[in-house]
Amino acid sequence: MENATTSSRSQQPDALEVLLEIGRDLTASLGSLDRYERLLVAARRVLPFDAACLLRLQGDVLVPLAAHGLVPQALERPYPRRQHPRLDAILRAPAPILFPPGSALPDPFDGLLTADPHALERIHACLGCPLTADGEVVGALTADALDPNAFDGLDSRLLATLGALAGAALRTAMLIEALEKRAEHETRVARELQRSAEETSGSAILGASRAIATLLSEISVVAASDLPVLVTGETGVGKELVARQVHSGSGRREQALIHVNCAALPESIAESELFGHVAGSFTGAVRDRAGKFEVADGGSLFLDEVGELPLSLQPKLLRALQQGEIQRIGSDRPHRVNVRVIAATNRDLVAEVERGRFRADLYHRLAVYPIRVPALRERREDIPLLATHFADAARRRLGLGPLRLGDEVRAQLAAADWPGNVRELENVVSRAVLRAAAGKPRGAAIVVGLAHVDVAAGPAGAEPVAEATPAPSGGELREQVDAFQRRLIREAVERNGGNKAAAARELGMHRANLHHLARRLGLEV
């Protein structure tokens, strides 16, 4: 190190003890923060600094891990090496480097000293140690002292040994963190697998109609492949169930099916949610975070409501599909992933492409194997079976005794139009079972009659569709559907006294989805 001389022998025992202490910590069972703090405490016994900072190198950015004598804000910001020539010089140095007092290189910690915010702006001593492990630079240790001569006379060999041990300690902590992240990833995957199993259990695609037979045949054809699948159909037809069937029939069935609701992703966080980010890439990014693509690595990723994905994000999704690569926000390095994408939408994506709302190349990548899920009115013969299934499920949830649907109820259910499809049918049947059970002794036999069913009023208590919806009088189908949805939403909100959450529940939707749909339709809710 420049300007360093051999220290006196009186300093050697203390220095040796410090080095031994750091060495012992390498094998100690410590958390990362404790390990970093103890490293700085030990360093202070041989380095007379007023401020010090331990930083980890991530790509071309130094991320603070621990600090002494600096304000908390010093730990809350990243330090790109290109923007901080003094830090860059430390990383490039083959050994600890002592900057001359009055160095022209700006100090990255000017104005951040706890005792005196302006102290480091004056002439002071500055020492930097590159931290290496296995021949690779992994970080840096900086030390500042208000006394310009504070670091004169330090033993260069001591500093080199301190830097090597500190680098090893940092690498140890990084390895531990990597193992913890891996464990966290596996825990998330296991949790998703459990959730998937719970949701799939007892929820096979039911029906004996020709339409369902065709659907099941399509699923069996494509499931075993790794082709991307685009599931289309109206709201409530069971697109997620189809996605789960495709996944469970594939070679990836032992891995997780990760679900992403694109309609519920604010544009500001959508990229981070899908592709992840590195620490320091934006305000609030205090640690690395894996995106859904990385969590789904080896399994399948279900992009529900993919038609709602912002245009700005679609090129990145296209790259992931084309090249099997994703790139975290703030990272310069691509990361390969092995993910099968299953997408779903209730939109006409061909029309969206024509309107410039969806990329044509992305559509063709997603729709390698399209599967259309039939509306419930297209398979009326399945309605009694489904109604019985939902009634029995409601009976088990409520802990009721024997239950059956009256013949007149089954006939009425089979004759309804069901614009909300299977989801609406399930809601109607569940409400009917609850009404029929009201006031009945526990374990008593229950018959669900017409008085308990509100299907005649149409979805969510509106007027019957056949009466409330006028015959088409020109215009695009999409425009007519949008008008119908606007009316349903307005009426639901009015019936619930302006309570959006209650209106969403009545419509069989999540509140976030209702808000998103209303915004698309130009409604203020």
Q: Which CATH number fits domain 202-372: 3.30.2270.10, 3.40.50.10190, 3.40.50.300, 3.90.700.10?
A: 3.40.50.300
- Of the candidates 106, 379, 362, which has an alpha carbon nearest to the alpha carbon of residue 230? 362
Which residues neighbour 83 within 8 Å (Cβ) at sequence distance 6 or greater? none
Radius of gyration of the chain (CA): 32
Topology, domain 378-520: Helicase, Ruva Protein; domain 3 (1.10.8)
Which residues neighbour 354 within 8 Å (Cβ) at sequence distance 6 or greater? none
Cβ of 479: how many Cβ atoms within 10 Å? 10
Classify strands 340-345 and 300-304 as parallel, antiparallel or unpaired: parallel
β-partners of residue 357 are none
346 near 235, Cβ under 8 Å? yes
Distance CA 492, CA 147 (A): 72
Report in angstroms the alpha-carbon separations of 171 from 32, 43, 56. 11, 17, 9
β-partners of residue 53 are 67, 142
* Phi then psi dihedrals of residue 368, to 5 deg: -60, -40
What was the pLDDT predicted at 136? Answer: 85
CATH 3.50.50.60 fits 9-178, yes or no: no
Helix (H) or strand (E) holding 232: strand 229-232
Structure tokens at 39: 């490293």
Q: Which residues belong to CATH 3.40.50.300 in the chain?
A: 202-372
Residue entry with tokens 């209702």: 514
Q: Which residues belong to CATH 1.10.8.60 in the chain?
A: 378-520
Distance CA 11, CA 495 (A): 82
Distance CA 151, CA 143 (A): 9
What was the pLDDT predicted at 41? Answer: 83
What was the pLDDT predicted at 264? Answer: 85
Distance CA 91, CA 139 (A): 7
Cβ of 182: how many Cβ atoms within 10 Å? 10
Look up residue 236 and give its DSSP letter: T
What are the average pLDDT values for consecutive 10-residue runs of the chain, which has 525 residues?
Answer: 41 55 53 72 83 89 89 85 93 90 86 72 82 85 88 80 76 67 60 53 76 94 95 94 94 90 85 86 74 91 94 92 89 87 95 94 96 95 94 91 92 92 94 91 89 64 37 49 75 77 70 74 75
Which residues neighbour 245 within 8 Å (Cβ) at sequence distance 6 or greater? 204, 205, 219, 223
Report in angstroms the alpha-carbon separations of 407 from 20, 320, 387, 388. 84, 52, 12, 11
Q: Which residues belong to CATH 3.30.450.40 in the chain?
A: 9-178
- In terms of Cβ atoms closer than 10 Å to its own Cβ (0-12, 13-18, 19+), residue 404 is middle
